[in-house]
Structure 1
């Protein structure tokens, strides 16, 4: 008995200790530790993310290009959908049964208890038709948000578009803060400056009952945070010049880029064919995007930045400058128009100096200019010397911003291509090529690829006599001034005096006295221009037309490059188009209206003229 009595006290002591432990733990949880209370509170809280107003976009003259407008989404909480009359729902919402089923399936995959969009970008009439019937469809609601609206039908490739974030993007740490179905910039400036345009989200906490009915702010809004609107972008684009350029390029394929040489600011960036940026907004945007994507003419392709092509004879300017810097030619150097080396487009007077050669765009002359630069007096059979000479020639050519990305504030920029010796080693073997293999580079043909943006930048560099600023679309963010990364000068390897030596020949190209760019002359307006025509051989059809220029020569305000596919000789098509755009920018108007109708869209309307 005494033994049993002792066991009773031991058991009681154990229960007492356990009770004290549980009591202490409950005291800690209920009095000292507030985390469990907060967790309980969360069961009655609704966290509402406040999306900020997206920053606006303006042109260089403070004209509004992109703003925000209210749109409406039909939201669904799958768990709350009860006994859905699918037939009537489809009739009211103007949806098919398959669309409704697929939408609900997607919503359930996202969350059964959280709202997600079933239909986005409802128009005002669609909203009015839906709202009166929503009471009959539990689990569905309307949510308002802001979407992009465009004040221009132009500049689509540069502005870009805003779309929902994809699962692939959400895997990128850069987009870790985004939630499914949120919107962000998907291309153009909207994408490149997403962080500045987006702003900072806000959060509101609201008390709700078990039915989800709101009961007011949680603790008087103590934990709420305000959203901060995105910053506005002030671009360097002249929207009037952009509109004019797109009008001139209508019905053509190609691109036009105009820069301010003194700042690197992009005045216009025309990609043809173009499309209205409003096409990629609103209900059915996805279908319209796929339609653009599948069109043969590739209207979504950003040609000024993403379509490197051989630049043709415009590149002869760079070739000459590099040879002048190397000291292998002088301004007075003359080479015969020797057709046994390479054909010239027409016979002309003996090119006794660089100006005459540029004026007549003499192919044999520039063939021999590059040969002197690459060989530098070496034997033409010394293949290793050709490799060394090409490497040095390429190094100096790349100082003009060719063969690599310029650093334009646009994600779609491509490098272009200036081939290195290893490229030819791979094609022909280490000792399987010589200068005759690569001579086409001397006239901007062959394995070379240059974007229209790079071509315009070369002319800006010549206008500045040896340096350039990185071309850019945005000149200021918010109330800030010029961005520091775009105020740095990039100098070429060529001394300033050599640029002065080629400009007279460039003026003769367009002075109306027998140069290859006669149609570009602005002499009647007292505007001096320096330019160069080009024709790019195309094995798949009619040749492409190029032209690049800057004006006025004494005080350059615009540098421009034009590339028109299958338009034949640059002097007949690209040159007059560039001339009209320069006239528009410098004079504010165009008086040569008949030229607008005369501009060709293809080569077959014109007599051969380089």
Structure 2
């Protein structure tokens, strides 16, 4: 009997407990938790995403490069759409009826209940007209957005552009929804998460005519957006614009670095494009034109993605390796009789005095000197074989940041190519190489491929007497976040600093050495410029013009690479353009004595002229 009574009490207790839990849950749903009430009220409210202001971008001196301009997207929720005057609606938006029908079907296919973009980027004037009559069109509302604007139509490749997210990007990051914008290239891509900020939301009461009647529940469920971080770039926009002017109607690139930090002062890829072309409703049309219809490939960033033979500017690296391995010294002299001759093999060279020591070989850009130096390195008895000698030589080369990605903060950087031992063994089908198998790379030709960014960085390493900092384009993020620590790491080359002075002597002689020197047009009065010309052989069209330089010689402020496709000789375009850029950066203006050079460079047109040799 007692057991039966106990069971009654237990069952009764359980029943009371269940009822109590149910009542607490009901109280929570009706009084405490607003989510169900919020859901029930969906038909009389509208949730609007509050997009944050995207961060601005400035140059190193505080000049504004990128800002935001307000535009308005027309949004649609298909389930809320009722019959409306289609012709009147299309007239307000400036679109055809058939286009409107297609957009409506697209929205339904995306989601019947979720908002999506019906028409992008109305101007403030269009928005004002539409807003007065929007109540006539249930299911439609306006979403404020921003577009990027450019007060200086420059640096398009460096800054990058925005476009709508695709499905892959939406799946990869829950931050994004259909119709959102994301950085697709340049700074906009690399620093997307810093620039984009955090979205907010605002919920409104709306009446049966789709008109906003006020904030829902006094904004209790609203969330304020957080603006993106502003970026201070390393670019000098005046230098950037000047470089673009000098490179107009030419193919190639310019990269200017600050040797002491690795900061990118200017980055010109030519031909380029106006960044405004990839903004707004005209973007798709302009993008197709730039990609499909322009054989000059203006969207192709030559500074990061073009892989060129460096030509004679590479001779300094070969000289430094020879000094480090003690197969030559500054006073080593080699004969040159119009080239380097071994049996039936000849590597030609231009006429100059002979023999030459190291400094003079750089000034005169003697091919025979560097063929001999390369051969002395790889055939040195201390390595045991040419195979081993080549590996040692290659490792020295790569210590200058060549043949691998430097790790810059700009996307799409290519690695270039320093051929491996395995490559040559396979190519020549032999177990042991001979120096002559790859002698052309001793003068920067053959299979050697280097990007303009790498060439400029190589020059910076020489300017620093044996070290470099990874090139980068952002100085600071927001008010507190500085440059990434990896950009402050000093990268040492494998060459002892004591060996650089004689090579730098030769580079200064290239610019100031008088008769026989090849870079005189890079000279800047009162500034010690050290440089090296390069003429890169090009089989069927005109050779390329190349020049690297840094200045001043002591405590250099700028290291620069100029690469002009089909510019014939390094002295014709590379050297004068580099000299003008150096003077512009250090002095801020061009001296009267160099105005004739400036005029000639600006007016030169290498694109529309014949490319035949």
Please confirm whether the aligned pair reaches a TM-score higher than 0.5, indicating the same fold: yes
In 2 relative to 1, CA 343–601 (structure 1 residues): closer, same or farther, beyond 3 Å? farther
Q: Say yes or no: does 1:326 pair with 2:330.
A: no
- Counterparts of 1:26-37 in structure 2, within 5 Å, are 26-31=22-27
- 1:597 and 1:98 map into 2 onto residues whose CA distance is 54
What's the CA shift for 1:233? 0.6
* Matching residue of 1:408: 408
What's the CA shift for 1:103? 1.9
- 1:43 and 1:308 map into 2 onto residues whose CA distance is 61
- Deviations for 1:265-319, whole angstroms, at most 9, x for unmatched residues? 1110001011111111122211111111121111111111111111111111111
**The residue matched to 1:407 in structure 2 has which SS?**
coil
- Counterparts of 1:42-57 in structure 2, within 5 Å, are 42-45=39-42, 46-57=46-57
In 2 relative to 1, CA 351–130 (structure 1 residues): closer, same or farther, beyond 3 Å? farther
- Counterparts of 1:549-564 in structure 2, within 5 Å, are 549-564=549-564
* Matching residue of 2:9: none
* Matching residue of 2:99: 99
Equivalent pair of 1:440/1:446 in contact (CA under 8 Å)? yes
**The residue matched to 2:353 in structure 1 has which SS?**
coil
Aligned counterpart for 2:266 among listed residues 260, 265, 268: 268
- Deviations for 1:189-221, whole angstroms, at most 9, x for unmatched residues? 011011111122223344567876656545543
What's the CA shift for 1:92? 3.8
Aligned counterpart for 1:184 among listed residues 182, 200, 208: 182
**The residue matched to 2:555 in structure 1 has which SS?**
coil
Report the RMSD for the aligned CA atoms in angstroms: 2.9
What's the CA shift for 1:454? 0.8
- 2:98 and 2:328 map into 1 onto residues whose CA distance is 73
* Matching residue of 1:598: 600
What's the CA shift for 1:82? 2.9
- 2:76 and 2:585 map into 1 onto residues whose CA distance is 52
Q: Say yes or no: does 1:348 pair with 2:352.
A: yes
What's the CA shift for 1:223? 3.9
* Matching residue of 2:231: 233
Moved more, 195-204 or 18-27: 18-27
Equivalent pair of 1:44/1:210 in contact (CA under 8 Å)? no
What's the CA shift for 1:247? 0.3
- 1:571 and 1:536 map into 2 onto residues whose CA distance is 12
Equivalent pair of 1:516/1:533 in contact (CA under 8 Å)? no
Aligned length: 588
- Counterparts of 1:163-562 in structure 2, within 5 Å, are 163-172=163-172, 175-206=173-204, 216-294=214-292, 295-338=294-337, 339=339, 340-341=341-342, 342-377=346-381, 385-431=385-431, 433-480=433-480, 481-511=482-512, 513-522=514-523, 525-562=525-562
What's the CA shift for 1:86? 4.2
* Matching residue of 1:567: 567
In 2 relative to 1, CA 219–515 (structure 1 residues): closer, same or farther, beyond 3 Å? farther
**The residue matched to 1:142 in structure 2 has which SS?**
strand
**The residue matched to 1:585 in structure 2 has which SS?**
helix
Equivalent pair of 1:58/1:65 in contact (CA under 8 Å)? yes
Could you tell me which runs of 5 or more consecutive residues in structure 2 were left unpaired when the two chains were aligned: 1-11
- 2:202 and 2:423 map into 1 onto residues whose CA distance is 59
In 2 relative to 1, CA 262–567 (structure 1 residues): closer, same or farther, beyond 3 Å? same
What's the CA shift for 1:402? 0.6
- 1:268 and 1:292 map into 2 onto residues whose CA distance is 23
- Deviations for 1:430-485, whole angstroms, at most 9, x for unmatched residues? 52753222111111111111111111111111111000111111111112344422
**The residue matched to 1:283 in structure 2 has which SS?**
helix
**The residue matched to 1:572 in structure 2 has which SS?**
helix
- 1:462 and 1:146 map into 2 onto residues whose CA distance is 45
What's the CA shift for 1:36? 7.3
- 2:96 and 2:441 map into 1 onto residues whose CA distance is 58
**The residue matched to 1:423 in structure 2 has which SS?**
helix
- 1:145 and 1:553 map into 2 onto residues whose CA distance is 50
In 2 relative to 1, CA 212–29 (structure 1 residues): closer, same or farther, beyond 3 Å? farther
In 2 relative to 1, CA 197–603 (structure 1 residues): closer, same or farther, beyond 3 Å? closer
**The residue matched to 2:404 in structure 1 has which SS?**
coil
Equivalent pair of 2:65/2:152 in contact (CA under 8 Å)? yes
* Matching residue of 1:11: none
How does the TM-score come out when normalised to structure 1?
0.89
* Matching residue of 1:41: 38
Equivalent pair of 2:48/2:143 in contact (CA under 8 Å)? no
Moved more, 349-358 or 89-98: 89-98
- 2:355 and 2:98 map into 1 onto residues whose CA distance is 73
